């Protein structure tokens, strides 16, 4: 039994904690956040090979038993890390730029904000790529890669059209997001491999032109179908 489930007085489970999931209390939430932060640090500093329970527990300042109490599998912890990475990305993007009203301008602003974020978060970008490859390579973990990319697509798609009440606009937003990700992922790997910032900047400009044109075409088709 974990310490979080014991009574502080006589060792019996208290009524206030009985049946609560890990992290339900404020202290529990703080512990969970520390574990996720420790896992992120291990992943960003040393890759998947460094993502051992001992290293994560040491980084988070918790016992191994505590880590296993909050996360019963490596995949559940990786999912929490993924969600934390995306939340961090959203905060960074929104702080970086006020998105324009026009969808084409929003797409351009998003790509530029993404590129600025990528340039200052190299270790994080590599960690996210390693997370994808781990999920695809590990039998039974493929769902994590699908979850990862669906989360990215939703993230960008919802920023292209923040009003998701129109299902057709939501579909268009996701279509644009998929193409944006194809371009951004390629530019990330190419820029890190070739170390040619000038060429990468040109690639970003080409991606912006392509995405503006693609969105314009989808919106024209949407207008004709109404």
Predicted pLDDT of residue 26: 85
Mean pLDDT confidence for 170-190: 97
Q: Rounded to two decimals, what is the model's pTM?
A: 0.80
* CATH number belonging to the domain at 1-72, selected among 3.40.640.10, 1.10.10.60, 3.40.630.30, 3.20.20.70: 1.10.10.60
Distance CA 171, CA 173 (A): 5
Per-residue pLDDT tens over the stretch 112-134: 999 999 999 999 999 999 999 99
Per-residue pLDDT tens over the stretch 132-179: 999 999 999 999 999 999 999 999 999 999 876 889 999 999 999 999
* CATH number belonging to the domain at 73-226, selected among 3.40.640.10, 1.10.8.60, 3.40.50.1970, 1.10.357.10: 1.10.357.10
Predicted pLDDT of residue 4: 41
Predicted pLDDT of residue 25: 85
Mean pLDDT confidence for 173-191: 97
Residue (of 167, 177, 181, 158) closest to 215 by Cα position: 177
Predicted pLDDT of residue 131: 92
Confidence of residue 1 (pLDDT cuts 50, 70, 90): very low
Kindly report, as residue ranges, where domains of CATH 1.10.357.10 are found in the chain. Answer: 73-226
Rg value, the chain, Cα:
21
Per-residue pLDDT tens over the stretch 26-51: 888 999 999 999 999 989 988 888 88
Mean pLDDT confidence for 88-99: 85
Spatial CB neighbours of 77, under 8 Å, sequence gap ≥ 6: 35, 36, 39, 56, 71
Per-residue pLDDT tens over the stretch 10-32: 444 333 333 445 666 888 899 99
| Percent share of the chain, pLDDT over 70 | 88
């Amino acid at each position: 039994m974990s310490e979080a489930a014991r009574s502080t007085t006589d060792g019996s489970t208290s009524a206030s904690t009985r049946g609560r999931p890990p992290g339900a209390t404020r202290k529990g939430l703080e512990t969970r956040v520390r574990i996720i932060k420790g896992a992120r640090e291990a992943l960003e500093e040393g890759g998947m090979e460094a993502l051992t329970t001992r290293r994560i527990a040491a980084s988070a300042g918790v016992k191994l038993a505590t880590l296993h109490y909050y996360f019963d599998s490596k995949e559940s912890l990786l999912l929490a890390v993924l969600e934390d990475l995306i939340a961090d990305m959203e905060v960074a993007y929104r702080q970086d730029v006020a998105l324009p009203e026009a969808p084409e301008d929003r797409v351009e602003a998003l790509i530029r904000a993404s590129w600025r974020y990528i340039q200052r978060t190299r270790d994080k970008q590599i960690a996210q790529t390693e997370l994808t490859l781990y999920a695809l390579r590990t039998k039974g973990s493929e769902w994590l890669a699908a979850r990862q990319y669906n989360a990215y697509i939703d993230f960008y798609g919802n920023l292209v059209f923040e009003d998701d009440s129109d299902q057709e606009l939501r579909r268009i937003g996701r279509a644009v997001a998929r193409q944006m990700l194809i371009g951004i992922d390629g530019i990330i790997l190419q820029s890190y491999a070739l170390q040619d910032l000038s060429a990468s900047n040109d690639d970003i400009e080409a991606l912006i032109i392509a995405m503006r044109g693609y969105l314009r075409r989808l919106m024209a088709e949407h207008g004709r179908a109404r």
